Amino acid sequence: MSNESLAEQIMIHAHALPEGQPLFTKQLLGLGTRAGVDQALSRLAKSGALLRVGRGIYVRPIEGRFGTRPPETGRLVEAIAEARGETIASHGAAAANALGLTTQVPTRSVYLTSGRSRTLNLGKLRVGLQHVPAWQLTLAGKPGGQIVRALAWLGPQRAQELSPLLKRKAPRGAIEEVARARMRLPDWMARQVSELAG
């Protein structure tokens, strides 16, 4: 297969994927040799037809009326995590902000992961994936999980100070959800959650 037709086949595959769905080099090895696939992907990334997100990971940019843009970050990160069998969740600063516990808005896009720490590139945007202990990913994807990550980011003292605010701002049932999972949490957080739930 010529390099042109290999690139065309890769783009056909990329266009068949939903918006923000990553394309992994390993998925394309049935189309040609590893060297051929790597060369075609490199050329497609240089031309702007694909964005190179990380090692062996590409994504098709979204075309809008104002030009091309990277896909939505959260959707892409979730798709990569699912493909790699990782658990991911928003950073504690983002969780605290979403719960109204801080007005600080994270300046960097960072997610917590059960996988290795690394940086993804979405055009000019850098997205950090930070490895954390399993307890910080407790209830990932659930309202109670935001509480866990917000408390972890705040630390014991600030979490204690903001506990009345958290009790008012937490989504209905979220504190009880965390209380049921407190066996997985550090002692200080388990105590804090017990007080909140009490």
- Cβ 11 vs Cβ 44: under 8 Å: yes
> For the residues 117-142, what does the mean pLDDT come to?
93
The pLDDT tens digits of the residues spanning 168-180 come to: 999 999 999 999 9
Question: What gap in Å lies between CA 158 and CA 170, rounded to an integer?
Answer: 16
Q: Which element (helix H / strand E) includes 97? A: helix 92-98
Angle at 135 between CA 132 and CA 138, to 5 degrees: 110
| pLDDT (0 to 100) of residue 193 | 93
| pLDDT (0 to 100) of residue 110 | 93
Q: Above 90 in pLDDT, residue 75?
A: no
Closest among 153, 138, 18, 49 to 98, alpha carbons compared:
153
**Phi, psi (5° rounding) for residue 191?**
-65, -45
| pLDDT (0 to 100) of residue 2 | 57
| pLDDT (0 to 100) of residue 108 | 81
| pLDDT (0 to 100) of residue 71 | 87
Residues in CB range of 40: below 8 A, 6 or more apart: 3, 6, 7, 10, 32
What pTM value is reported for the model?
0.83
The pLDDT tens digits of the residues spanning 11-33 come to: 999 999 988 899 999 999 889 88
